[in-house]
Structure 1
Amino acid sequence: MENAVTSHWPAHLQSSLTIPETNLFHNVEVSAARFPEKPAIIFYDTPITFAQVRDEAEFIAGYLQNQCGVRAGDRVLLYMQNSPQWVIACYGILRANAVVVPVNAMNTAEELRHYVEDSGAETVLVAQDLFRHIQPLLRNTERNGLQHVIVATYSDYLKQPPSVTPPDFVTAARNVDIGGAVAWADALAARYKPGALTAGPDDLCVMPYTSGTTGKPKGCMHTHRSVMHTALASVRWVDITHETTLLTALPLFHVTGMQSGMNGPLSCGATIVLMSRWDRDIAARMIERYQVAVWSAISTMMVDFLSNPKLREYDLSSLRSLRGGGAAMPAALVKKLKDTVDIDYVEGYGMSETISATHFNPPQRPKAQCLGIPMFDVDARVIDPEKLGEVAQGQAGEIVVHGRQVMQGYWRNPDATREAFIEIDGKRFLRTGDLARVDEEGYYFMTDRLKRMINASGYKVWPAEVEALMYQHEAIREVCVIGASDSRRGETVKALVVLDPGHVGNVTDEDIIAWARNHMASYKVPRIVEFVRELPKSASGKILWRQLQENSLATL
């Protein structure tokens, strides 16, 4: 049965959300017209106004069109840490009627190669601290790889002495040889004007990549309409206005950070205080200095923040909303947060495939370790994952969702798209692969996963992708990656490795871990490597990863 709005739906909200029939860039145009001199971004105490964001995004769009040959619908990679350039580049790509492909800043050249090849991107906007990972991909002179690179230097936007100490990579002056590329400052100085803004609500605009049971990440195709929906939903749910200041510490390449920390606030003229890297003291100082009211954070950030012995030295009284997701917040920390700043941690649930939240806890009545209730216009069901029929209230089953924020499908992957969707009552539902139960008040609680996925500090790690990278090591004959319990990260990555006979005794677990750090993003790196003589297999030869996972959990 279709879920209904619960009795605990926020009183100030209608159950449905009216979405503008415009593209995302129009949001910044409107905010810049209304509040031209108001800070859109505060970057380590330097303000960047809405008018500056709009104007520089237009110059970047003009450069992309006039010098890089970017046309409507082209995919453009965006590969930076949180920075004003990330925001301006994102909106510059959109202003060029193109599609943003956000890339995890922790990814290395091996991982980036797939993004380039699969998306067909010929242009990338990258920061100088990450440029070395892009360089190996620039050797291809054929028209089927990266041809154009714009390199940003974060310190260009430090216009006044900061009251805190930013990370070294933020304060670094321009210090890399960018032969064959153009500096961000030079691209702006060219002052190219873009052509007409033609993208409409149903054109593609953002394509975040996600993995799954296969080793290769897949591009989630999102339109201006689907991105607009969760951007505005995030603003309405906690009543953000142009008077609100938010702390943006979650990475913008992640859909939660992108929507709740950038697209949502900028759409209504709110100001974001932007951090390039998590630092608990800088976060507290920024909350105090700029009277931050709203902050989105994952549970590991909150663990670190609340364990700061200096926390009571800061005035945090401006905070009225703390929200997050990715991993459940332990009950003890929920209580500590309430005791410390007298606010609740409001959890939500979403995926790259839904460009952030489909469920959120009502701010006035959240429940701990809870996904929340379905948000605006979301039809969520719980079904038997094998029989595909709905289960009774209180029973566990797979969450399926229908709503305007659901992706169109996976880029150039019709088979995966077909597997991801199911039709119920004439509607197209996304199969999440997550198992949950619904209580008598309509709140959803996660119980397990169908997907083979590890949740490490809120980052989704797909074992098949890690395995595919580890097989590049000459000493590894077979490998199976599973999740292991971790008191700080929740889960961590463990690799069970069968060595090639010629390397037995010559390779240590530390060697494998060190190699992995050079070949994959840090959050994917196995923290535990265990050598085994063999891996259990099915009659068809498939490694029985679930058995290994269950055995690992049983030994805890």
Structure 2
Amino acid sequence: MGNAHYQFWPNRVSMTITVPETTLYENLEMTAKKYPNKKAIYYYGASFTYKELLAEVNALAGYLEHKLGAQAGDRILLYMQNAPQFIISYYAILRIRGIVVPVNPMCTTEELAFYIQDGQIQNALIGQELYKKIEPLKERTTLEHIIIAAYHDYIDENYIIGELPPEVQTAAQEYKTDHEWKWIMEEGLTPSVYKGESDDIIVLPYTSGTTSLPKGCIHTNKSVQANTIGAFHWATYTPNAVSLAALPLFHVMGMIHCMNTPIYGGSAMVVMTRWDRDNAGLMMQEHGISHWINISTMLIDFLANPKYEQYDISSLRLIGGGGAAVPEAVGQKLLQLTGLRYVEGYGLSETISQTHFNPPDRPKMQCLGIPSFGVDARVVEPVTLKELSPLEEGEIILRGPQLFKGYYNRDEDNRDCFVEIDGETFFRTGDIGKVDEEGYFFIVDRVKRMINASGYKVWPTEIETILYKHPAIQQACVIGVPDPVRGENVKAFIILQDSAKGTVTEQEIIEWAKEQMAAYKYPRIVEFRTSFPMTSSGKILWRQLQEEERTVSEV
């Protein structure tokens, strides 16, 4: 890897960091000692200090250990939406040296069964709205105990600033055969002396499983600390920073940037159970949000809000995120409205979020950024693994302190995903990208997302980026559809801006696109939609759209 990017390194930030040999739980313990009475969490009118947060973490840890028999090394399911109880649960599991298995609240019963069996899980902490999905699994899996949390218990019932999500409005129910959260806090049990180590496995986030069964990514205190502390320095958090925790905390980006990093720095977290652009604006204004890490679809939705200008968001100091590139037009609108440039990054479950960041003082649009602290990233020819020259497209491979230990119980996958180059072990990301002369990385697309149109390679992300330049387009998703002559055709699903609905036609979009890109690239088919299928972390489910299209074509 070249060092061209070092000349654009953020001002006042050292080019290396030493990852501490302390643990994530000790981050919370130290912050609570330094700032016991400082607000840690704001949640729909209620607030909790770091002293109170630590006390509840220890009470839950004591219950897990003494009442449920949980031990060090046990994998414990965390199946919950964003709420104070998610944060308490996560750190309580770490307190007993257990392993957090965070799963998407949208998971079905059968998907949960897979995670529970794969990890031989006996204990689960869940939101009460999810109980009906998981309760049947006690009869046919290894699951024995369920702790049930009601988000409503942690709000101020007089909260009137914004509309509460339905799950938050619902008061705690009674469960005769499982463990209610309120019992646990009343017990006030004390866990055994903490003896956590840097090399302890602490979290097992699963990959999405869009091409195969989900795979658990083995992360230790050391790998998670690398990105927690890297994010703290890169984004210049301080104890008085205020972070909007709107990204799902089960997802590695939300986990690192909206929970672990603020806790490390003693910052405040303003927690949203469900994304709502009006609530977000009100919370920014009420709490003086300084840091908002998000995903592009959130930002697009926020800036499309006709009530946007009603909110005072002048406290914002950093807006950034990852998962999908922010369209240039959206980035320009953000700059015009706030004076802030969007700071994109890149990462994976296998790297517990970021391996690349854009320098906040010099970001580039639709750009992954430059390699983070201690990361060696390269673009190579996928077959020969020869490192490519600037602007040549190939597979991104990388190594660094945040890299996982491997996939849980997946020996064959582990053999396939790692390669040895110059005596060093690199991870194959499966992402096609390129690096420019200044050392900034750009993604072209996923290897498996490529469209083959008349023998030409077409990358959907590139087409989407161009489509976003059309003023009538709010969101776009491009897929390949079968074609008897060309092999595959390019199809674009479009959500129009409200002002363009009924006035802009599909054919007008096609004709415009024809002028903007090569003949083999432009969409031959356009379909307007009012919404897209989305993950709870805000990513468009392009594969679901593609499968729907191919099912229709086969009928």
Hey, what does 1:545 align to over in structure 2?
Answer: none
- Residue among 410, 429, 446 paired with 2:443: 446
Match in the other structure for 2:101 = 101
Shift of 1:199: 2.0
1:402 to 385, 399, 408: 399
Q: Aligned-pair distance for 1:260? A: 0.3
Q: 1:541 aligns to what?
A: none
Aligned with 2:280: secondary structure?
helix
Letter in 1 for 2:227: T
Q: Within 5 Å, which residues of 2 pair with 1:72-87? A: 72-87=72-87
SS of structure 1 residue aligned to 2:407: coil
In structure 2, what is the equivalent of residue 6 of structure 1? Answer: 6
Cα offset, 1:483, TM superposition: 10
Report the AA paired with residue 487 of structure 1.
I
Q: Is contact 1:3-1:380 (8 Å) kept? A: no
- Give distance in 2, aligned partners of 1:149 and 1:243: 36
2:128–2:148 CA contact under 8 A, matched in 1: yes
For the pair 1:170 / 2:168, whether they are aligned, the reply is yes
Q: State the Cα deviation string for residues 452-474 of structure 1 (Å, max 9, x = none).
A: 59999xxxx9x9xxxxxxxxxxx
Distance 1:201 1:12, change over 3 A: same
Cα offset, 1:23, TM superposition:
1.1
Judged with a 3 Å threshold, the aligned counterparts in structure 2 of structure 1 residues 522 and 448 are, in CA distance, closer, same or farther, namely closer
- Are the equivalent residues in 2 in contact too, given 1:213–1:451 (CA < 8 A)? no
Give 1:297 deviation, angstroms.
Answer: 1.2
Equivalent residue, structure 2, for 1:500: none
Cα displacement (A) at 1:523: 6.9
Displacement of 1:4 in angstroms is 5.3
Query: Matched residues in 2 for 1:49 and 1:484: separation?
Result: 51
What do you get for the CA RMSD once the two structures are aligned? 2.6
The alpha carbon displacement at 1:272 in A equals: 0.8
Deviations along 1:396-437, one digit per CA (max 9) or x if unpaired, are: 111111101000000011110111111112111110000111
Residue 232 of structure 1 corresponds to which residue in structure 2? 229
Offset from partner CA, 1:506-547 (integer Å, 9 cap, x none)? xxxxxxxxxx99xxx997694545546769xxxxxxxxxxxx
Do the aligned residues in 2 keep the contact of 1:346 with 1:363 (CA within 8 Å)? yes
Note the alpha carbon deviations across 1:30-80, whole angstroms, 9 max, x for none: 111111111111001211111111111111111111111111111000000
Once the two structures are superposed, residues 125-161 of structure 1 have per-residue CA deviations (whole angstroms, 9 ceiling, x without a partner) of 0010111110121113xxx610011000001101352
Question: Match for 1:173: what amino acid?
Answer: A
Distance 1:531 1:15 in 2: 51
Aligned sequence identity (%): 43
| Distance in 2 (alpha carbons) for counterparts of 1:155 and 1:316 | 27
- Structure 2 SS opposite 1:319: coil
C-alpha contact (below 8 Å) 1:212/1:451 kept by paired residues? no
Q: Tell me how far apart the structure 2 counterparts of residues 523 and 110 of structure 1 sit (CA, whole Å).
A: 22
In structure 2, the CA distance between the partners of 1:38 and 1:285, relative to structure 1 (3 Å rule), is: same
Alignment partner of 1:379 is 2:376: yes
Aligned amino acid, residue 110 of structure 1: E
| Residue equivalent to 1:509 | none
Are residues 362 and 523 of structure 1, via their aligned partners in 2, closer, same or farther at CA, if it must alter by over 3 Å?
closer
Q: 1:488 to 1:445 in 2, by over 3 A?
A: farther
Task: Indicate yes or no: 2:325 matched with 1:318.
Answer: no
Seen in structure 2, the aligned counterparts of structure 1 residues 131 and 294 have a Cα distance that, compared at 3 Å, is same
2:276 maps to 279
Task: Give the distance between the partners of 2:210 and 2:117, measured in 1 at CA.
Answer: 20
In structure 1, the residue matched to 2:493 is 486
Structure 1 match to 2:524: none
TM-score by length of 2: 0.82
Query: 2:203 matched to which residue of 1?
Result: 206
Asked if the contact 1:2/1:379 (under 8 Å) is kept, the reply is no
Partner-residue secondary structure (3-state), 1:446: strand
1:365: how far off? Answer: 0.5
Q: 1:224 to 1:451 in 2, by over 3 A?
A: farther
Q: 2 CA distance for matches of 1:530 and 1:313?
A: 44
- Structure 2 residue 35 is the aligned partner of structure 1 residue 35: yes
Q: Which runs of 5+ in 2 are unaligned?
A: 451-459, 465-476, 480-488, 497-532
Secondary structure, counterpart of 1:201 in structure 2: coil
* C-alpha displacement of 1:211: 4.0
Q: Separation in 2 of the partners of 1:420 and 1:486?
A: 32
Q: 1:265 aligns with which of 262, 267, 289?
A: 262
User: Is the alpha carbon distance of 1:338 and 1:53 closer, same or farther for their aligned partners in structure 2, counting shifts above 3 Å?
Assistant: same
**Deviations 1:485-523 (CA, angstroms, capped at 9, x unpaired):** 43359xxxxxxxxxxxxxxxxxxxxxxxxxx99xxx997
